Each structure stands twice: as C-alpha cells, then as structure tokens.
Structure 1
Amino acid sequence: MRCRVKFLLSTYLWTLLVFIMAKISFMLFCQEEHPFALTDMWQVVWHGLTLDLSTALYFLILPFLLSIISIWYWAKWLTYILRGYFVLIAIAFALAFVADTSLYPFWEFKLDASCLQYLETPTEAMASVSSVYLVWRFLAIAIASIVIYGGYRPLMLHTACCSSRQWLELLVYILTIPLIVIGIRGGLDESTTNIGQVYYSQNQFLNHSAVNPVFSFLSSFEKTASNIVDYDFYTEDTCQQLMADYYTTTSVDTDTLLTTNHPDVIIILMESAGEVFAKGMPRLQQLKQEGINFANCFANSWRTDRGTVCTYSGYPSFPTSSVMKMPNKTRALPGIASSLQQAGYATTYLYGGDINFTNMRSYLIGTGFSQLIWKDDYKDDERNSAQWGVRDDITFKTLLSLIKHPSDKPRFIGYSTLSSHEPWDVPVKKYDDEILNAFYYLDSCIGEFIDQLKQSPQWKNTLVILLPDHSYDYAGANQTQPDRNRIPMVWTGGAIKSSRQINTICNQTDLAATLLAQLGLTHDQFRWSRDILSRSYQHPLAMHTYRNGFSVTDSTGFMAYDFDVNRIVADKSTDSQRLERIGKAILQATTKDLKELGK
C-alpha cells in the first residue's frame, strides 16, 4: 500500500508544482507590459493555490483507478496506459501554458474556449505573427512537454504492489473517493470551484496570473458562447425599428432629487425582497413615505448573480445565461463603482456570504470595487450565524461602521443582505410563516440601521438606495403574475431634497443611469440603462427574464412569453402582441450585445 500512496501523492504534488511553475513563467514572460514586484509573485501563487489544488485532482482520477486495479493485478499494457496518459496530459498542459502565455498580450484575458474558433481559419490566425514567433512557440511546447513528462515518468507504477490486506486497502480507497470529490468541488460551501475565487487585487494582471489556465479553458465551455442562446426573431433592421427610442443614453432636463452631487452613496441589495413581502416590511413602507419611492420598478431577473449585474452594471438579464459566470464578459462591463471611482469615490462591497459564489469576486473587482468584505473577514461564530454566512444584523453593524469611519473621499458602498433566503434561519419570531418572518427580520435590521444612521453626522450627506436583487414566488405569485417581479426601490438619507413618489415604469437596470445623472456624471457606457427622470425617457417599459421565458410591462399592461411552449402564457395587456414583439426584439439585441461583449 505504501508504494501506491507514494505514487499518488507524488503524482499529485508534481502536477501542483507544474501549475505553480506555469504561473511564474507566465508572469515573467508578460512582465514587460505588466511590471510587478517580487512579492506579487508570491501573492499570485498563494491566492491561486486553491484553484490549482482542485484542478490537480481532476488529473489524479485515472492514476487513482489504476492504483486500485494494482492491488490485485498488473500487466505491461496497464503500464502503457499510464505512460500514454502522462504523455497526453504533459502535451496538453504544455499547449495550455504556452498558448495562455502567448495569447495574453493580445487578448488581455486568460485562455478559454474562444481560441478554438481560430483553428477554423489557421492561415489568418498565423498571419498575425512571424515564422520565428511560431518556431519559438513550438519549441517551447516541445520543451515544456518533455520537462512535464520527465517529472511524471519516474513516479509510475510498473508492477503490482504486493499487499496481504487487499480488502482493507480497497476500503481505504473507497473512503478516499468523497474527499477527492469534495476537493474537486472546492469544499462544502454553496459555491463550487470557479475562477473568481482567486481574484484578490485591483490589478487585473495579478488576478489573471493567479488563474489556472487549464481550469479556465475547460470551464469556459459552459460559460461562453455555447451557453448563449441565439434569439433570431427578426432581421436587423426590423429589430432596430421595434426598439427605436426605447434605450437612450443621454439625459435631457433631468429632474433633480438631491441636495448635493457628491453624497456618500449606499446601495443595499435586499435579498429576494419583492413587493409581495410588503406586509412583512413595515419599516420599508415607512421609508417610502419619508424618502423617494419608485413605485413601479420591476426586477430584471430571478437570481442573485443576474440581479447583481443588472443593478451595478445596468446590464440586462438573459433566460439561460448568467453573465456573472462569464469572466471574459464581465471584464468588459461598465459599473457604477468604476464610474464613481473615476469621480474620486472610495468603493467598498460588503457581503456576509461567500464572495466566490457564482464568480462574484471577479465581477465586483472588475467593475470597480476596490475593497471587498465578506464572511471570511468575520469571526467563526459570526461566520456560522446563518446557513449562508454572516447574519444581516451583524453585517448591518459593519455597514454602519464603514459609513462612520473617517474618509477624505466620498464613499460608495454596495451591500448585499442574505438572511431573507432559504432556509429562512433568522433569530426572530414575528410570523408563523417562516418566509414572511425572514423578511420581517430583514426589515427590522434596515429600520435599526436607518435609525442609527440618522443620529450620526454622516446622515446629512448620505444617499441610501434600497432595492432587491430579485423577487420570489410567494402566496401564488409566479412568473405569470404582473406583481411577481415588482420590487421596491427607495431612496432615502439626508441628501434627499424632499419626499415624493415616482410612478414611472422602470427596471432595476435603470438605477445606474438615473443615479449617475443625479450625480452629474455621464452614463453613455451603460447602453441598457435609462435615466427615468430625463425628458428623453419617453417609452416607459420593464423587461424581465426568467428560466426560458420573459415578461414585459408597460402602460398597456403585462405579458409573459415562455420559450418551452413558444407562446404567450400570460396576457394581461390591451396590446400583448406588441409587447411580445418588443420583448423578442430586446432579447435579440441584448443577446447579440452579450456575444460581442469582451471581444
């Protein structure tokens, strides 16, 4: 048994060392355009280690299975299988490392499946580089393959390792399988292994250096164009005609809501808190009366990863694609944080859960948040205070301390709550209905936070914006119901001129343009966000996507369309056919934009 354990452990550690050496080589090769300090090399290796550890386990599966066979039997042909496997992965690793290092100066993002499209036209691809360049790359692949295989060759099992306790050894192997699965998955948390977990810096080159190119390539197959459904309903001209004047990026005679255009800005993204939970949120209803209530705001999507992008990037949602899970796309998105950062704001994001979930870390860093605070920044008892992480009452205290902390810059803080989520584990009991009770708890946290903020000197110059990431099916409300995706959007704080209600129909994506216009900043880069207080906003409309369907709301009513059945499934509009056409045109145009994003 000892020889098999030694074989597997040595194989795993060599694979891990290969990944680390590839990172260092990548950094050294690209340092001319991306200078870095020696300490950065250590940081890259350290932060990228979790992804390397998981990825290395994938390539241990075949040796692991052959080791089990060797308990009873070994033959020369099994040696050939193992040798061939090591030759294959040595070449594959070498190709990935050299391609990643060579393409990065051109692409400025890590190796992914999009490189395969260039194999269809190799002549054009090679026309961009010289023959000498290609020769050196082929030589590098050959040398790297030999070095990698040379490390594996001495480790191979050549004969069966004798054991007098085969069944006991087999049991040990069986018990090891769950550990390998957990390692590949990246742990027992809700988030699985993903590229975003290694992001740690505002310097994107350092983040990219920490990413394992082999994992990046393999994972990209489910997160790039292959996962973007084509919606080709109309010709390009017809599509543009249907959408004419619906999305404008210029503010004209915008109504002014604030007393200053440099307030501290806090966006509180309330987990799942749609208007269907108004009964359980009395303090939020009070804030609607005290502040500015956008009474006809609708969520763009039904998931947190999608709703977060819609809110902070003003970018639309899609029925089957999650933009946040596509690092090659999110790197090209605009962000409220990056716009405010350029205007002199300090930017922070607070979340009590796992910030690696659905690639959130890479999205937040890439769109301008310079400081991230998440569950690993809390004590063990706080970190485990709820199923999803740190309870809302604890993180609200963190939010308050962030606002009160002295700063020589105006602050922009994004904050996602988490307790109003299954399994609804909150420390209060107001309602027997556990779902409504969870939203009452969130509401009480909001109320206490606002009360305390009002007593501070920071209140006068603060704008607090409350809205959900999405809504939730509750009390019969589903995607065929008009109010299922109606969400509260409330602006409060001392920076508000006066209380009022705005009844204009809008989406959460419109927050970006509306807010930036209020701050006197341009928002041209937010192509799918509209300043709803501008005179140019002449066609109020809300678009929502859900799993394989979409809904549209305007002054004529509500319509929902389902692609599983290819028909309207909810018709509560006086002009549903027009809404269907507009919805399809928007989906076609936004999907085209997504496919082009990042190229």
Structure 2
Amino acid sequence: MNQIFKSRYSILLGFIAYFILFSFIIRSILFVSAAQKAEFTFLEVIRFYFVGLFFDLGTGLILSAFYALYLLIIPNRFYHKRWNRMICLSSFFIFLIITLFSFFAELTFWQEFESRFNFIAVDYLIYTYEVIHNINESYPLPLLIGGMLLIAIGVTYVFHKLKIFNTSFTSQTRFKTRLVYSSLIIIPAILFSLIVKNSWAEQGNNRYTNELSKSGIYSFFAAFKNNELNYHDFYSLIGNKDAFTLVKKELTESNTTFKNDSLSILRNIKGTDSVYKPNVIMITVESLSADFLAHYGNTQHITPRLDTFANNSVFFSNMYATGTRTVRGMEALTLGIPPTPGSSIVRRMDNEHLFTVGHVFKEKGYVNTFFYGGDGYFDNMNHFFGNNGYNIVDRGRKLLNENYDGTRMLIPDNDVTFENAWGICDGDIFNVVIKDADQKYKKGQLFNNFIMTTSNHRPYTFPNNKIDMASGTREGAVKYTDYAIGQFIDQIKNKPWFKNTVIIIVADHCASSAGKNEIDISKYQIPCMILNLKNTEKMNISKMTSQIDLFPTLWSLLGWDYTSEFYGKNVLDKKYESRVFLGTYQKLVYMKGDSLVILSPQRKVDTYLYNKAKNEQKPFVLPKAIINQGIANYQTAFDLFKDGKLRY
C-alpha cells in the first residue's frame, strides 16, 4: 500500500489528506461556536467527529474522482511533460482555492444560520449580485481573498517541501497499477454519491451534533439535488377524503359554508351588515423576532416605537411564522397556506393566478401593489406577485422582458438616499409608498400595499445620524427599522387618506431559527399588530396564532363576505382552536396547544409535548387524532397546489 504514496497518485492523496485535515479544523471551530449555546455529551462529540470523518473522506474521494480518471488514462510519456505539470499544478491550486472558499463560506453560513449548507446556500448561489455585495459589505473581502491565497500558497509550499509534486511527476506507474489505484478512488466515490444520504448524519435529537457530523460541500450538493420533495413520496399519508374531512372540520367557523367538493376547502365566509373598506398597508419587517420587543422581555430598548404601537393596537402577541425565510413569510401572508416541503411556492414553477389575499382585495375594488427596496428578481418575487394580481415597485437594475398581470415601476435614483447590497433603506421605501398612496388617493382608488423591508438584513447598514447606535450591527438595524416605521406613521398621520387606512406591522420570520431543538418553536415567534382600525378597541390577542390567520381575522373585523381557499382562520371566532404550522425545507410541524407533531421524510413522525415557559419539547405519545390532523393539513395543502386547485 505504501507504493501508492510513491506513485503519480501522491498529489491526489495529499489533496485528500489536506481536505480531511482542514475539514477537521473547520468542524472544531464550529464545535467551539456551538458549545457556547448547547451542551454535548462525550459520546456526541465522538460521534460527530467519526461520522464527520466518514463524510469528509467520501467528499474528498468525490472531489478527486476526475483527477483519478485523468491519472488512469494519461500515459507516462505524456505525464512527465512540462505541459502536464502545468495542468496538474494549476488544477491543484484552483481546487485549493475552491475548497478554502468553501471552508470560509461554511464559517460565515454557520454564523448566520448555525447550520451546514442547505437549500438557502443553493438559493444564494443563484443570486450572485446580492450575495457578493453582501459579503463585500459584511466582511473585509480583499483581506479574506488575500488570506485564502496565502493559505493556498502555504499548502502548495508544504507539498513542495514534502516532495509530493516531485514524486508524482517522476514516478513510472504502470497502467495495471493505475487501474487498481484509480478504481480504489473512483468506485467508492460513485457509491458514496449514489448511496450515502446527508440525512445519515441526523441520528440524534441534538441538532448541533447532527450538523457538525456533516460535510459542508456534500451538504450543499445534497440540498441542490433535493430542492423539492413530493409529499406523497416522502411523508406519512392518510386517505385523501379523510384528510379533507379533517381539514374542513378544523376550518369550520360559525359563518362558514363549504362548496360541494369533497377534495377542496373552497368555502364562503359570511360577513356582517356593517362593512368597512379601508386602505391597507402591510409592513412586512425583515427578520423581526418577537424577542427584540420589550413586550417579550427585551431590555435593550431597541424598539420603542413598535412597543408603543403594540400597546395601542390589535396585537397578536402569540403569533408564529411558518418558516425561516422571507419567501415563506410571503407565502403565508399571501396564500394563507401551511409550508409544503421544499422551496416556498413563491419560488416554484406554476405559481401564477393563485387564490391569494390580493385576489380577495381585488374583488373588493382594491389596487394591490408589492413594494420592495431591492431587485424583485431575487427569490422570484416579481414573478410571483406580478402574476398574482399585484403591481410591482422595486429597485431592479433594469426592466426584464417578463409580462406581468400588473405593472412594474422601478424606483428612480432621486428617491434613494441610502442603499446597500439588499436594497434601499427602509426610510426610502416608505417615502416611495407615501408618494404612491398620494397618487392613488387623488384617483379615488382603494389600495392594498405589501411592503417588504430590507434594512434589518446583513450587513445591517443604514443612514447615519438617524439613531444612537452604530451601523453594521443587528441591534442597530432593528432600532433603525423601528425608527423608520415610526417616522413613516408620523408622516402619514397628516395625509387625507390616513383616517381610512389600516396599518399592519408583521415580521416575515425571526432573526435566527437555530436552537437546541431540531425545530426550536421559540425561534418562530413574531410580533404582529393592526393599527388605526376604526371602531375597534385595542386588544391583546394572546391565543396562539399563525401568520396565515392574519387576514381572515382582519376581514372579520371589517365585516367582509368573501370566498376563501385559505388555511387561515379568524382567531376571534368562538370556534377557533389554537394551532400553528412551522417548517423548514423538510421538517413540517403542526402544533395544537402543547401537542407537537413533526413530519419528516422517510414517512417519519415524531411527537412531543412543548413547554413554552422552559422552551422544552419532550418526546410524548400523542393521540392518533392529532397526528392525523397534522398530516391532513400538509397533505391537502400539497395536493391543492400540485393539482392546480389553488388557482382562481
């Protein structure tokens, strides 16, 4: 076996050794970071290092497989040529840079999501403009690139001193020997890529241990390959008719009449005799966790305006987001649907002309507009909103050749005072909204606005001299967003259209979804409030509610009749029973009271009791009825979208 180290394969073996060593270092750094937030037993540490070694070795073999094939087929008389040395050394150095960049990216990704690469990393690879600028504004990019180059040069120098290059380029390795050596690399690499699943690392209840067991690069390609999951192929099922029966029973309210279709949730909602039609402005705040507000115990005083608004509004103090990304929040707030497995519907194919919140408003005579301070091409937002009854106002660099149901307007440079990689500051987008509202008021148009903010997103930069905190920190960004919302409401109070305008403030998701549990319920709690609602006293709705319940509750307060195909409910109805839907890309959560059901691929069902006060979830055998209710909601939601039944 020692002969392989003295053959032309010495560079390949050296690269695998380098990859395993640096993977060990990265895993150790991530372990130190995770140890500050979670406890690890000795056996868990041993497990994630040994399982991690297995994944690192497999990934190293995959990365080396093409070079092993090259070493097999190139004859000795060519392998010793100068041009071959240049090809091999250049390829070696390029692979060093690629893997070093991957290691750095793992560290930054963990800092943001406390996870190995997943679907989010795949998404970010597509949107290079925003990501590159975000990295450039968040980190000293020239120093980082220089550092990676120095490390790559250092590794190359070590290989030179160990005479690895010289050994490889002077060896006389016969074809039969090469066939054996290459087979030892290529065959295991193929088997590893075809057989080994990333989920093999997820064997315990400690989420950090599972993530540390993985290899970043392998996790990335596993996420790329599994971007969408078919519910029927991977999750627990019940009969279709039974599923819809259970969902209809859960959705039945005192004013509900279902259509005569056993495989549908289409229904009529009866309003009151007193109908109110105000303008609606929904401010969807980027990454606004509930625990940023003083109402939830925060003592940093970073949301003084939001805390005041919460105390003088219809305040949903126990609301939960459906997911961990902006597009999940958009999905919940427009489609009123549980998070189906894979990417958000906002980002999927065939997501046009769906039954949305905007459709209900349009039926009532409203003009719907989506406002975004960045480029709405990102995350397919423009396509989704533009083909589901909304006009678009965004900061795109150019008008794309895509036709929308509505119109698209670019935010001009003279309306921008501050901009970073993700878009214009919140103050600027609010000024754009005010101008638009003034124009619509003059035309006598009712408007429903969906505003997506960006300032509370890394790199957390915002205009100077607005607040007493430094730009570039999460807390500063939260306080600036709070300031901008306060200024916006102060400005519009003097507008003639304000007295007939309802303001909604709600988060898209929390600032962080990672915690000690696989699904950390506390990391999904968000604030939500409705301001300036005429003839409605301020109230604190402490019932557990979901993002998808927001508009059905608002429409009830407005007294509206409407047709619904939403999973959201009026939380003020006497028949309302608290339940929420949470999800990652693969884990689907149904929680009713303290009963927690988690659905996973391979038709896995885990059940727990959730103690909110202690933020603990303990395994517990729940009644079959609750499990089936969770399955029914996700199964029917998946079917309705895939079968095209969510179209109006």
Q: Give the TM-score of the pair, scaled to structure 2.
A: 0.53
Q: Aligned residue for 1:163?
A: none
Cα distance, 1:518–1:365 mapped onto 2, change above 3 Å: farther
Question: SS of 2:590's equivalent?
Answer: strand
1:541 to 563, 579, 586: 579
Q: Aligned residue for 1:308?
A: 330
Contact 1:270 1:469 in 2 (8 A): yes
Deviation at 1:258, TM superposition (A): 13
Structure-2 separation of matches of 1:312 and 1:448: 26
Structure-1 separation of matches of 2:378 and 2:597: 32
Question: SS of 1:437's equivalent?
Answer: helix
Quick check: 1:239 aligned with 2:278?
A: no
Quick check: 1:593 aligned with 2:593?
A: no
Deviation at 1:286, TM superposition (A): 1.0
Q: Aligned residue for 1:12?
A: none
What does 1:134-533 align with in structure 2 at a 5 Å threshold? 188-190=129-131, 230-240=234-244, 242-243=246-247, 245-248=249-252, 251=255, 261-278=276-293, 279=298, 280-328=302-350, 330-376=351-397, 377-379=411-413, 382=416, 385-405=419-439, 406-427=442-463, 428=467, 430=469, 434-473=473-512, 476=515, 480-493=519-532, 495=534, 497-533=536-572
Structure 1 gap ranges (5+): 1-166, 168-173, 175-183, 192-220
Q: Which moved more, 1:474-483 or 1:389-398?
A: 474-483
The amino acid across from 2:422 in the alignment is W
Deviations 1:330-356 (A, max 9, x none): 214212222212221122221101111
Contact 2:597 2:630 in 1 (8 A): no
> How many residues matched?
391
Cα distance, 1:423–1:394 mapped onto 2, change above 3 Å: same
Contact 1:420 1:439 in 2 (8 A): yes
Contact 2:597 2:605 in 1 (8 A): no
Contact 2:419 2:425 in 1 (8 A): yes
Structure-2 separation of matches of 1:543 and 1:580: 13
Q: Percent identity?
A: 21
The amino acid across from 2:316 in the alignment is F
Quick check: 1:555 aligned with 2:593?
A: yes
Contact 2:310 2:529 in 1 (8 A): yes
Contact 1:228 1:321 in 2 (8 A): no
Deviation at 1:544, TM superposition (A): 0.8
The amino acid across from 1:264 in the alignment is N
Cα distance, 1:250–1:569 mapped onto 2, change above 3 Å: closer
Deviation at 1:477, TM superposition (A): 7.5
Cα distance, 1:555–1:443 mapped onto 2, change above 3 Å: same
Contact 1:348 1:412 in 2 (8 A): yes
Cα distance, 1:422–1:433 mapped onto 2, change above 3 Å: closer
Alpha-carbon RMSD across the aligned residues, in angstroms, is 4.0
Contact 1:352 1:390 in 2 (8 A): yes
Contact 2:275 2:560 in 1 (8 A): no
Deviation at 1:480, TM superposition (A): 3.4
Contact 1:308 1:469 in 2 (8 A): yes
Deviation at 1:266, TM superposition (A): 0.6
Deviation at 1:584, TM superposition (A): 2.6
Contact 1:424 1:438 in 2 (8 A): yes
Structure-1 separation of matches of 2:451 and 2:429: 9
Question: SS of 1:457's equivalent?
Answer: coil
Deviations 1:534-575 (A, max 9, x none): 33x432211111132133333335555555894538641697
Deviation at 1:322, TM superposition (A): 2.0
Structure-1 separation of matches of 2:517 and 2:476: 20
Structure 2 gap ranges (5+): 1-86, 88-93, 95-124, 133-224, 258-268, 398-410, 612-617
Contact 1:228 1:595 in 2 (8 A): no
Deviation at 1:238, TM superposition (A): 4.7
Contact 1:259 1:496 in 2 (8 A): no
Question: SS of 1:272's equivalent?
Answer: coil
